[in-house]
Amino acid sequence: MAKIKFIEADGKEHQVEAQEGQSVMQAAMSNLVPGIVAECGGFANCATCHGYVDEAWQSKIPPPDAAEEGMIACAFHVQPNSRLTCQIKVTPALDGLVVRLPVSQTE
Amino acid sequence: MSAFSGQKLDKIPAHVPPELVYEYDNARDPRLLEDPHARMRSLILEAPPIFFTPYNGGNWVVTRKKAIVDITMNPEVYSNAFLVSGHQSEEHSGEHKDSQPGLMMLPISADPPRHTAYRTPLNQPLSAKSVAGLETAIRTMTNELIDKVLAAGRCDFLSDIAEPLPVTLFMKLAGMPTNRLAEFRELATQATSATVDHASREATFKRIAGILAETIKARQEKREDDLISHLLDANIDGRNPTFQEMLGYSIALFLGGLETVVNALSFGVRHLARDQELQARLRADPSLLPGAIEELLRLYGIASTVRRVMRDEVCHGVQFKQGDTVSLLLPAANYDDEAFPNPEQFILGRKEQHQTFNTGPHRCVGLNLARLEMKVFYQEWLKRVPPFRLDPEKKPQFVGGFNLAISSLPLVWS
Ligand code: FES
């Protein structure tokens, strides 16, 4: 179990309990966090689960692989700390993770 | 793609319980040909959620959204790797074995992780960001087509608009000669037709492959600013695609780009032609269009898809055996009341994702382009064409199979 905080673009915060083995995207979806669409269901080919990993956490998460990187390039409002949340596995070490969400996943 | 022989098994396999047998021929069912989407709804109401039909070699049919999502999200058990152009590599019954390996369609025929390697080169050029660059071209093409029919007060929406628009755009995108439009469209229709015999289907695919091979060879000599050129330089596990793989890509793009949008546009316009109030609403407020398009996409799903079961598995209470074929009727899942309350109704602003583009790794790669084409088309059409309705004299004709289709849609306006 790990607590993850999602912050919508307008500042609204959502604290969720994520299960180990889930992806960060799944944790958001099963808690109905708005702002993540996840059209492909976690296969790194839709870029609608895009989020910004808080700087403090970036080094604690394995870097994106080539498929994820290619797909991040397709997302809107990309920043240096952009990730596909479906590609980040929840581990106890991620307890307290903060993920900010873009204004929109689709434009 | 299954060869729709139409043949009925004379013996139901032993592992299929009799209460799960429901006779349904996805190509020739008379109610399907009367009104394809009404038939999709009736399957939800009348047939078991997962049923076994003895038609077309015998296969399972899944109609509910939850089960379809679970199956598509589990490619290790439900494989795509047997899909080849023109026919399945092996029929369920095992009677028909083709000695000639068919052409793999890429990335559709590959399972993850191979699928990811094949799909990655397409993600970027077909992303929402990239296709946005085509908006002006699509607008120009749409207006040229409207110019040709506007004064007449009538058109056959299929041949005058729905076919030329996506076909021209796709051929431009892929780098194919647009002056062969009619020929290409005919080939695409033949290739996905549910009722042509095995031999003519093979011949059609040979002709398509021949045309595509010419384009690929030309681009090998000289790159252009198009998808085929982009794919030639793609990196698949550290190498460029082989000629065979290039053919696989282009044949899948050909079928995906030429058949699906044509039909989605036509069913959508047919809905508007029968609903003057909705037409007026959208004319008055075009900002409703994106939501309306999603709802039309839900009501009128086009493509279905097939999986091969890789090991014995119980799915939503039904025992599948290794080697079974499972058809996922995506257009039916959009009428599943568990996912969509009052599924027959057009309701703007539904939250639930429809299944028209599928879920999981094989979710439609062309969906951004399809959405953009539809948005631009509806904007221009509703702006310029006065209230239109179905021609009362001529009934639309429908086609079944893997793609639900209309073959003619006469419209009138004054
Ligand atoms: S859910 Fe589609 S890329 Fe993450």
**pLDDT of B10:** 86
Least confident of A42-51, B297-306, B394-403: B394-403
B378: CB partners within 8 A, 6+ apart: B268, B282, B289, B292, B293
- Tell me the average pLDDT across B263-281: 97
**pLDDT of B52:** 98
Question: Chain A: nearest CA to B205, how far in angstroms?
Answer: 28
Answer positive or negative: Cα dihedral of B143, B147, B151, B153. negative
**pLDDT of B274:** 96
**pLDDT of B98:** 38
**Residue closest to B312 by CA, chosen among B304, B303, B320, B324:** B320
**pLDDT of B68:** 97
Separation of alpha carbons B37 and B331, rounded Å: 7
With a pLDDT cut of 70, the percent of chain B lying above it is 93
**pLDDT of B154:** 97
β-pairing, B50-53 with A97-100?
Answer: unpaired
Q: Which of B129, B357, B358 to mutate to test the interface with A (most CBs of A within 10 A)?
A: B129
pLDDT at B199 over 70: yes
Separation of alpha carbons B1 and A90, rounded Å: 38
Identify which has the larger pLDDT, B197 or B43: B43
Which of the four pLDDT bands, split at 50, 70 and 90, describes residue B83? low
Strand partners, B59: B53
**pLDDT of B396:** 86
Calculate ∠ Cα B67-B72-B74, nearest 5°: 100
Separation of alpha carbons B205 and B224, rounded Å: 25
**pLDDT of B5:** 64
CA distances from B50 to B41, B43, B71, B404 (A): 14, 10, 12, 20
**pLDDT of B84:** 63
Which class does domain B26-45+111-302+334-413 fall in? mainly alpha
- Tell me the average pLDDT across B364-378: 95
**pLDDT of B47:** 98
Helix axes B164-174 and B135-149, enclosed angle (nearest 10): 150
User: Is any atom of ligand 1 closer than 6 Å to the C-beta of A86?
Assistant: yes
**Which of A48, A65, A74 to mutate for ligand 1's pocket (most ligand atoms within 8 Å of CB)?**
A48
- Tell me the average pLDDT across A32-39: 92
Give the DSSP H or E segment for B406: strand B405-408
Give the DSSP H or E segment for B221: helix B198-221
- Tell me the average pLDDT across B51-75: 95
Separation of alpha carbons B213 and A9, rounded Å: 48
CB B9, CB B410: distance < 8 Å: no
**pLDDT of A22:** 95
Residue B17: other Cβ atoms inside 10 A: 12
Identify which has the larger pLDDT, B381 or B82: B381
Q: Give pTM, 2 decimals.
A: 0.91
Domain spans of chain A? 2-100
The predicted-structure confidence for B99-117, as pLDDT tens digits, reads as follows 334 678 899 888 888 898 8
- Are A41 and B130 an interchain contact pair (Cβ–Cβ within 8 Å)? no
pLDDT at B282 over 60: yes
**pLDDT of B90:** 38
CB B129, CB B238: distance < 8 Å: no
**Which of A43, A76, A105 to mutate for ligand 1's pocket (most ligand atoms within 8 Å of CB)?**
A43
3-class DSSP state of B149: helix
Separation of alpha carbons B269 and B266, rounded Å: 5
Answer positive or negative: Cα dihedral of B182, B169, B397, B52. positive
Question: Chain A: nearest CA to B183, how far in angstroms?
Answer: 33
ipTM for the whole complex:
0.87
**pLDDT of B85:** 55
Which chain B residue is nearest to residue A37, measuring alpha carbons?
Answer: B353
The predicted-structure confidence for B107-162, as pLDDT tens digits, reads as follows 988 888 889 889 999 999 999 999 999 999 999 999 999 999 999 999 999 999 99
Calculate ∠ Cα B25-B30-B35, nearest 5°: 105
**pLDDT of B88:** 44
**Residue closest to B59 by CA, chosen among B360, B327, B279:** B327
> Which CATH fold topology does A2-100 show?
Ubiquitin-like (UB roll) (3.10.20)
Least confident of B3-7, B221-225, B351-355: B3-7
Tokens matching residue A34:
């708005």
Domain spans of chain B? 26-45+111-302+334-413
Identify which has the larger pLDDT, B58 or B254: B58
The predicted-structure confidence for A58-78, as pLDDT tens digits, reads as follows 999 999 998 899 999 999 999
**pLDDT of B205:** 85
pLDDT at B86 over 60: no
**pLDDT of B180:** 80
Separation of alpha carbons B313 and B410, rounded Å: 47
